[in-house]
Amino acid sequence: MNKKLRLLAYPYSVWMGIFIVIPLFLILVYSVTTGDIHDASSLKLSGESYKKVLEPIYLNIIKDSFVLAAASTLICLLLGYPAAMIISNTNIKYRGLVLVFFIVPIWMNFLLRTYAWMSLLSPNGFLNRFLMWLGLPKLELMPGQGAVLVGMVYNFLPFMVLPIYTVLSKIDKNVLEAASDLGGNKIVTFFRVVLPLSVPGVVSGITMVFMPAVSTFIISGLLGGSKTPLIGDLIEQQFISSRNWHFGSALSIILMVMILISMAIMSRIDQNNAQEGRKV
């Protein structure tokens, strides 16, 4: 039986090798070399690409990328946790309908959703026209970091709500009743029971929002323009416009390492929470 299972795993191993391992290896090679990428004999080991990353202009782009990603993740958490609680406490007859409102936007094309916000936030968009109709001053959101932040929150909010809702909906109601019987009010029950039990969902939500937010380039490219270049835009530019695959590969490796470090930290927090839960 084990041999049959191994045979079934071979196609997946080949697929991973061709589409994951080999591309990552090539990116790593390009990041530590210089020369013509189409001529392997011209490639020479060099750390110039990584040295270039240390230039102030690129460090600021990396910093802005992580600041905006962290801000969007925090806003998604502040908005998503109450929304997940409301959904989990909704009557089961209507719970599916409420979930649809969060799931439907995911079904739409990511690019179309971002274009929709362009028509809303542009200088002559619907929002500013409405404000002018009310006699209020126009909002200069787009292009800029404000529009990018709005776009990130809108696109990634469902990925925060759904994992938190999944965890909250599985909390045994008897546990909450026991906390109430022991004298705990709603606030005490939330901080002492509900919040600790929902940490795995919060960790999953933060990971699912932060990773795509820090590497996005469509949202920043359309809503931020040239005023808000992020590391995703910079990588795209190096591979498509500038044709500097070596520098683009170095940026990709750095971004991947930073994301892996962030994931390791969140995984560590989740493990510590699980260990504390077992002790209790």
Q: Which residues, including other chains, have CB under 8 Å from residue 158's CB and lie 6 or more apart?
A: 102, 103, 105, 106
Domain residues for the domain of 272 are: 53-279
Residue 174 inside a domain? The answer is yes
CATH number of the domain at 173, please. 1.10.3720.10
* First vs last C-alpha separation in the chain: 40
How confident is the model at residue 2, as a pLDDT?
66
Looking at the domain assignment, is residue 93 inside a domain? yes
pLDDT in tens, 40-91: 778 888 888 899 988 898 999 999 899 999 999 999 999 999 999 988 888 8
Question: What region does 209 belong to: left with phi over 0, alpha with psi -120 to 50, or beta?
Answer: alpha
Mean pLDDT across 169-193: 79
Alpha-carbon distances, residue 24 vs 14, 17, 249 (angstroms)? 15, 10, 9
- Is 39 domain-assigned? no
pTM: predicted TM-score of the whole model, two decimal places: 0.86
How many domains are there within the chain?
Answer: 1
264 in a domain, yes or no?
A: yes
Residue type, 264: A
Query: Is residue 13 one of the residues assigned to a domain?
Result: no
Q: Is residue 112 part of a domain?
A: yes
In a domain, 187, yes or no: yes
CB 60 within 8 A of CB 54: no
Q: Is the pLDDT of residue 278 over 70?
A: no
Residue 1: pLDDT above 80? Answer: no
Q: Residue 12 falls within a domain, yes or no?
A: no
Please give the helix or strand (H or E) that residue 17 lies within, else none: none
